Amino acid sequence: MASKDEKNIIKALQSQLNEITDGVSRPSGIKPTKTTKVGVLGSGLMGHGIAYVTALAGMKVVMTDISQDNADKGLNRINTILNDSYEKGLIPEKKIKEVLSRINATDNYSQLVDCDLIIEAVFEDRELKAKVTKDAEQFLESNGVFASNTSSIPITSLAKCTTNPQKFIGIHFFSPVHKMKLVEIIKGKKTDSETLAKAFDYVIKINKVPIVVNDSRGFYTYRVFERYTGEGMALLFEGNSAESIEAAGKKAGFPVGPLAVSDEISIKLIAHIRDQKWRDLDREKKDLESGTWDNVIDFMTKEVKRNGRASGSGFYEYPKDKKKYLWPKLNHHFPISDTPLDEKEMIDRFYFIQVIETIRCFEEGVLTKVVDANIGSIFGWGFPSFTGGTLQFVNNYGFKEFKNRSQELSDKYGNRFSCPKLIDEMINNGDTF
């Protein structure tokens, strides 16, 4: 007989995955769409990956950047991916030429003419995204779709700079694009069903797993994922050793600890996204969201300028040709408490902070499908598959037990652990996710 863990894996990775790929979140009544020519704005970390998977799937690609030199560098990165795949026996040699022949790397936006899909993949900056969108939109096919790869900026607000917000959508890839299977599709308030269908069909065509969510700051995946990295930093600030925090993250079943993954995505980028959010909230006259993790972010980026792996140093040291190791001075700058938390308490905080935020997304209508939540969490940022995903976690834990444990954590660590009202409603109705 299969164990509970094995049943969860089967349910999440087989049954629910099949639901998604079969189109449970795709608008009904709309004929299958075909994408033939795709523009990708930006050839950096995300842009070249998007261009690669698109060309690999047989579509023509125009990959642009601010200079021909930058565009050529992006093409070289694609060539490296192809050669690595060939050396590993994953593709035949002739495939390399075929894929490269489909990609036009250029600094000339006029080459985007007749694209039926353009994906903006520039740096996470509202003004920059608005500029490239305005510059490129004029070349889009009359009924074409414009998409942003933003990880956190609301799609509805980005769509304000377009002439046709009905044809504007979020298509959020994960890094590295050629390896990560999940793609988060975000509907803006004015995004029409035909645009959603085209985005969905495109994601299926490039052999990725699409989840569909409604617009919100941070959407679903980044909004929940940042809770993991933030909680790791909060634990560090509270006086728990970096070693114990990382060990707890891995013991919980995450691919890497919260400090290591913060380095990977860049502490500087985390700070930039946070600052962008704060500016938006200030403009909207809403309360700023902050916590002890912000002290850690500011210390690392402003005081010691350790911005993450890409810059050569972060929570970890990255010696050339050697294994990375935690920065020895971390415990000096964040002294270890006389009463550090035990591993189980840290693990519970990692689980509960993410599950609670997921429930809030469901409560607010950002998520509308349980399968999108579960599959998105497992394939997006590595929420442990043996849990079945963020919402299945509650089913397994027990709703009353989950509420009680949330209250305990809230009493100790603050309102971010408060149990959403939806849980009370589901307990009263005898419902499950």
Could you tell me which of 14, 66, 22, 17 has the C-alpha nearest to residue 43? Answer: 66
Spell out the domains of the chain, with CATH numbers in brackets.
Answer: 25-214 (3.40.50.720), 221-333 (1.10.1040.50)
- 321 pLDDT exceeds 60? yes
Distance from chain centroid for Cα 9: 21
Could you tell me which of 155, 378, 343, 150 has the C-alpha nearest to residue 241? Answer: 343
Report pLDDT digits (tens) over 5-56. Answer: 677 777 667 889 999 999 999 999 999 999 999 999 999 999 999 999 999 9
CB 196 within 8 A of CB 212: yes
Per-residue pLDDT band for 79 (boundaries 50, 70, 90) equals very high
CB 122 within 8 A of CB 158: no
Could you tell me which of 377, 367, 359 has the C-alpha nearest to residue 425? Answer: 359
Active site residue 48: no
Mean pLDDT score across all residues of the chain: 95
- Distance of alpha carbon 156 from alpha carbon 103, whole angstroms: 30
Mean pLDDT along residues 169-194: 97
CB-neighbour burial class of residue 203 (10 A; exposed 0-12, middle 13-18, buried 19+): buried
Q: Provide the token pair at 63.
A: 């990959």
Mean pLDDT along residues 225-248: 98
Amino acid at 276: Q
Cis-peptide into 92, omega within 30 deg: no
Which 3 state secondary structure label does DSSP give 117? strand
- Distance of alpha carbon 86 from alpha carbon 91, whole angstroms: 5
| pTM of the predicted structure, to 2 decimals | 0.95
Query: Of the listed 172, 272, 332, 333, which one is catalytic?
Result: 172
- Distance of alpha carbon 134 from alpha carbon 143, whole angstroms: 16
- 2 pLDDT exceeds 60? no
Structure confidence at residue 288 (pLDDT): 83
